[in-house]
Structure 1
Amino acid sequence: MYTDASKGNEGVGIAIALENTNITFKLPNECSIFSAEAIAILKAIETIQTTKHTKFVILSDSLSAIKNIQNKNNPNDISVFIQNQLDEAKTNKKQISIIWIPGHTGIAGNEIADKYAKLAASNKNTTKLNISSYDDFKKAVKTQIRKKWHLLWNDQDTKLNQIKRTTFSWENHKFNRKEETTINRLRIGHSRLTHGYLMSKEEPPTCEGCGTPLTIKHILTECQLYQQERINFNITEILDSLLGPDPAQNRKILNFLKSINLIEQI
């Protein structure tokens, strides 16, 4: 028996090539090629269990899948199923060997399995198996959660949303703790200077220079009191650039705040 798997834009398919017939299945799109190769071996063993013959060789070009099946200490869930099937086969007096062969080297049975695995992946009428590994399922769930989170994020109108347009994480640039805290407060638009009144139950602060409500955006990009300092540090009016993931831009903002003596009030 030759087994193979294929994963592409049209889906995931597996094939088992026997002497006189070929068995194919279509797997869930989230199934990895590693899992698909293992599932192909699993289905081959299940097929063996239904025959009267007692000696079989399963040939696969997936060395990683075979090694995981042989791993008794830390196999994945598909490999555990395979190990259990092999034990059951042994109980039923069936001898099964799983052997690695190099792929795409002209081995006839492997080429046939490869061909039918590709056809299974692209053919919507192929028999479907709702099988995938726990890791594949977990990854798919995380992907869907992230997509939903991204949609919800785009619908929000917050100060942080105006700075960070996506939900993907930003790299930590190894600023010291105070600098990281300052940058994060600037990003969410909340600081002791602009929002300390909430704790003291005072009136919201206004700018000493122009009397407008005091906000992070006003301090960084609008207030004329600090126009010369903005020029000195090449501070633009684009907040998502200044407070985005670029450490050079973040450093400019920190230096700007130090120069106008507001860094300790953020």
Structure 2
Amino acid sequence: MSNTEESFAIVSDSQGALNSIKSRFPRDPLVQRIQAVYSNVVEVGKSIFWIWVPGHVGIRGNVMADEAAKRATGVRHVDVQVVRHLDLKAALRAALVHPKPWRPPLLLSRIERVKIHRLRIGYTQITHAHLLRGEPPTVCVHCGNQMTVEHILRECPVLEPIRQSFHLIDEVGEILKQPQHLKNVIKYLRSANIFDML
């Protein structure tokens, strides 16, 4: 706003918007921001007049605003600082009614999905069955260390060449999270003769 002007008129054809701005305790964050700006303007001795005009009645600013709104509908990305709860609610409802398509299936068999799930939670037959039987922990037949998911997928030095041949990365969480790695994990487990023990 110009420092030389003392009063301003804001003309709107939305009586509901003007009533919201006049309300004492608005819940809408955008209305709260408008009220804060209004208070700041009044504090410095300037005046704002709110004018409701039914329809556009040829007001140049309204016509320009309509044209800008029409142009904005073609923009793919909109930077919104404040999201109103009603807008969020509408977006969530739209997402529920028209959900995005799911990612394509991983094309793993049911048994392969079960084995991957067991590895993800860290409890497999080979690493934890001893607890049910009251026996000492299972040790790796290759190196003698205790069998854990981490040992199978990352630590066993004897299985390292097989792991490398299937291009498995060191981070266990990433191996089991990324769909592109899961087929190689299955191939590795089968090649190392561990798959059926999980």
TM-score of the two chains, using structure 1 as the length reference = 0.41
Question: Which residue pairs with 1:250 in the alignment?
Answer: 182
Aligned-residue CA RMSD (Å): 4.4
- Asked whether 1:237 is paired with 2:167, we answer no
- Asked whether 1:216 is paired with 2:149, we answer yes
Q: Which has the higher contact order (CA 8 A, sep 6+)?
A: 1
Deviation at 1:255, TM superposition (A): 0.5
| Equivalent position SS for 2:162 | helix
State which of 114, 117, 135 in structure 2 corresponds to 1:181: 114
- Asked whether 1:261 is paired with 2:193, we answer yes
Structure 2 distance, partners of 1:264, 1:196, is: 14
**Contact 1:3–1:110 (CA<8 Å) still a contact in 2?**
no
| Equivalent position SS for 2:152 | helix
| Equivalent position SS for 1:237 | coil
What percent of counterpart residues are identical? 24
Structure 1 residues 192, 107: CA separation in 2 closer, same or farther (over 3 Å shift)?
farther
Amino acid of the structure 2 residue aligned with 1:259? S
Structure 1 residues 2, 226: CA separation in 2 closer, same or farther (over 3 Å shift)?
same
TM-score of the two chains, using structure 2 as the length reference = 0.53
Amino acid of the structure 1 residue aligned with 2:184? K
Structure 1 distance, partners of 2:29, 2:141, is: 60
Question: Which residue pairs with 2:17 in the alignment?
Answer: 15
State which of 74, 89, 107 in structure 2 corresponds to 1:136: 89
Greater strand fraction, Structure 1 or Structure 2: 1
Structure 2 distance, partners of 1:244, 1:226, is: 21
State which of 11, 14, 18 in structure 2 corresponds to 1:3: 14
Structure 1: unaligned runs, 5 residues or longer: 5-13, 32-56, 60-100, 113-121, 123-130, 140-169
Structure 1 residues 23, 219: CA separation in 2 closer, same or farther (over 3 Å shift)?
closer
Amino acid of the structure 2 residue aligned with 1:184? H
Amino acid of the structure 1 residue aligned with 2:158? L
Structure 1 distance, partners of 2:30, 2:108, is: 38
Question: Which residue pairs with 1:27 in the alignment?
Answer: 27
Structure 2: unaligned runs, 5 residues or longer: 1-11, 32-52, 66-80, 93-102
Structure 2 distance, partners of 1:207, 1:248, is: 27
Structure 1 residues 132, 209: CA separation in 2 closer, same or farther (over 3 Å shift)?
closer
Structure 2 distance, partners of 1:212, 1:255, is: 23
Higher-Rg structure is 2
Tell me which stretches of 4 or more aligned residues in structure 1 moved more than 4 Å: 22-26, 105-112
| Equivalent position SS for 1:15 | helix
